[in-house]
Amino acid sequence: MADRNAMTRRSFLKTTGMAAAGMAALSAKSYGQVAGANDRLRMAFIGCGGIAGHHLSKLLPMRKEENLEIVAVCDVYRTRAKKFQEKIQAAGGEAKLVGDYREVLAMKDLDYVLIATPEHRHADITLAALDAGKHVYCEKPMTHTIEEAQAVLAKAKQTGLKLQVGVQGTSDDSYAAAYEAIAAGKLGPVVQAQVDYCRNYPADKGPWRGDIDPAAPKPDDLDWQAWLGPAPKRPWEARRYYEWRNYRDYSGGVATDLFVHRITRILKACGLTYPSRVVGMGGIYMWPDGRELPDNFEMIVEYPAHKDITPGMTLHVLGTMANDHGNEHCIRGHKATLIFTKEGWNIVEEHTGKVIETFKKTGAEDVGLHHKNHHAAIRTNAPLNCPPELGLYAVVPVVMGNESWFRRKMMAWDAEKQAIKS
């Protein structure tokens, strides 16, 4: 029997940006936020760290082409926001420096915000932005918890505003094209997929560790309590601020920072929604340096039947941080295997090993393309490449995988309650 939570083929195509875009019904609040095809878009940064810096390097050169203006930069650490402001000024722009994101959201002439904070702040700022009538580009993962992801999706639907999740790999059209091929039966029933995100960190410095002195004092212009936000209150700790991906209160580590990129692509290629069971395995094998999350990790995710795609399948995700020899990214069916390549993908027939179809991608895993897609969604209601539905469906397995690791047991999904089984 098909999974009761699985999308129909038509609805999935619409959700992930493959169907023709029709004008959606918009709430009164969001209607005024729809920009014309050539209208200038005014945006602001909330969070000015390393990932945000990559976004800035992409957005600055495309301002003229995209008719885009960066009007504000916001960070709880003023020094970081000041550096962004200076880069924008050097490029001929002018952005207001703000310390409190609520001041940004109060700006009446602002179209959207880019949220590039640590994971634990994604949900509350995204919800506040949508309530303020702003479109949102939120870095992955969409939220820190499943409950937060469900709340964000509900709010995005309620407002009709455009929420793009920052999995830029979905702007590579290989995955949408793979879905078309799989739904057409070219692989036969799909039974398994595998992906990886492997790295090799130095022996003396594990994942997301820098040269931070654990005793380093808090900078005078950094608001530590604002940075903590909804996380448990605690005294200043330099490593928790600068190396937050190693701590459970702020991140899910390998699973949420890396695996989300890979899992989202398979979700899109196979039209998957909620898993049935997840197991996370690994450990703090190489770097027992006070981190709370595994330094080497892998997951097996089981998905229920999905009409025209699979009678049930598993997804294996490998994440060794001490060895960068990765696995081939592929989707296995009874008749053939779809193998992803740098150029797109090939379908290889079972038994004969013959390549029976090749796809050459036109998109790419590119932040700039992902922003352009978001701008098109705001201006013309174009389908988003990574909408909040995909954001939710990616958060669920990685949260379950981490929970499995912490509890040392397989976690199951309750389809009726839409929650992890207790």
In order along its 422 residues, the chain shows pLDDT tens digits of 333 333 344 444 444 443 333 333 333 344 344 555 569 999 999 999 999 999 999 999 999 999 999 999 999 999 999 999 999 999 999 999 999 999 999 999 999 999 999 999 999 999 999 999 999 999 999 999 999 999 999 999 999 999 999 999 999 999 999 999 999 999 999 999 999 999 999 999 999 999 999 999 999 999 999 999 999 999 999 999 999 999 999 999 999 999 999 999 999 999 999 999 999 999 999 999 999 999 999 999 999 999 999 999 999 999 999 999 999 999 999 999 999 999 999 999 999 999 999 999 998 999 999 999 999 999 999 999 999 999 999 999 999 999 999 999 999 999 999 999 98
Q: Would strands 112-115 and 41-46 be described as parallel, antiparallel, or unpaired?
A: parallel
Phi, psi (degrees; rounded to nearest 5) at 141:
-65, 160
Q: Which fold has domain 174-206+248-364+395-420?
A: Dihydrodipicolinate Reductase; domain 2 (3.30.360)
CA distances from 37 to 22, 241, 375, 379 (A): 15, 40, 9, 5
Strand order in the sheet with 190-196: 355-360, 344-349, 336-340, 330-333, 190-196, 313-320, 296-303, 277-283, 411-414, 419-420
Q: Which fold has domain 13-18+25-169+370-384?
A: Rossmann fold (3.40.50)
Its pTM stands at 0.91
CB 155 within 8 Å of CB 30: no
- CA atoms of 140 and 370, how far apart (whole Å): 13
Domain residue ranges of the chain, discontinuous segments joined by +: 13-18+25-169+370-384, 174-206+248-364+395-420
- CA atoms of 399 and 409, how far apart (whole Å): 13
Residue 36's pLDDT is: 59
Amino acid at 378: I
Return the C-alpha torsion angle 138, 143, 149, 153, nearest 10. -10
Residue with tokens 């089984």: 421
Residues pairing with 281 in the sheet? 298
- CA atoms of 318 and 313, how far apart (whole Å): 17
